[in-house]
Amino acid sequence: MTKKEILQLDNSGRSTFKQCKKKYFLQIIKGWQSNFGSTALRYGSCWHGIQEGYHDWIVKNGFPKDPIQKMEALSQALQLGKDVYTKESEKKEFYDDFKNFNTAVDCFAQYLDYFKDDEKYLKIISTEQKFECPIEAENNLEEKLLSSLPKLIFTGKIDLCVEMDKIPWILDFKTTGWRLDQVIMKANRRPQLIGYSYAG
């Protein structure tokens, strides 16, 4: 790799590299994948599809104002979620469990009920927003380290950008089996969210 080349990093690659450098080489560089898929990752992709479909409708039309608009927004959300779930299901073999499309639909109904007042104080700016941010040196040591590397670009996708009280916020959807208090405690220290906040 020459210094003129660009090295793109995303959070999945960073996390895999930290976990196991050999796994990073085989999976990210060589593209090797297991024949068996993760029901958790498939569920997460489906959930993101549902959220993207719903909030994309809101970006274009505003929050639904009547039953017909609510049905249109829900239809777009569930169709995109179903499309993503189907596409993910075709790629690999799965040991199916409760993390399926029906569960995602049930959870989305609960999500809508819990956040039913969002339209009173939130403005949806964008959904699934891709970004590319250069990694730049902030001190002499970092400048010395980065000078020997190709140009580094941090890439990713921000789940949802909103405005509340005239302040922009980013929202990252997580579908996890962890205990909620553990997730909350660790969220602000996660490299992913730190990077996404920088990008935002």
Q: Mean pLDDT for the chain? A: 87
Other Cβ atoms less than 10 A from the Cβ of 40: the count is 13
Which residues does 123 contact at the CB level (< 8 Å), separation at least 6?
162, 163, 164
Of 81 and 19, the structure prediction assigns the larger pLDDT to 81
pTM over 0.75? The answer is yes
Helix, strand or coil, per DSSP, at residue 116: coil
Of 143 and 7, the structure prediction assigns the larger pLDDT to 143
Residue 81 above 90 pLDDT?
A: yes
Kindly report each contact of residues 84-88 with a partner whose C-beta sits within 8 Å and lies 24 or more positions away, as own/partner: 84/45, 84/46, 84/48, 84/49, 85/42, 85/45, 85/46, 85/49, 88/37, 88/41, 88/42, 88/45, 88/46
Report, as an integer, the average pLDDT of 169-175: 80
> If residue 151 lies in a helix (H) or strand (E), which one and from where to where?
strand 151-164
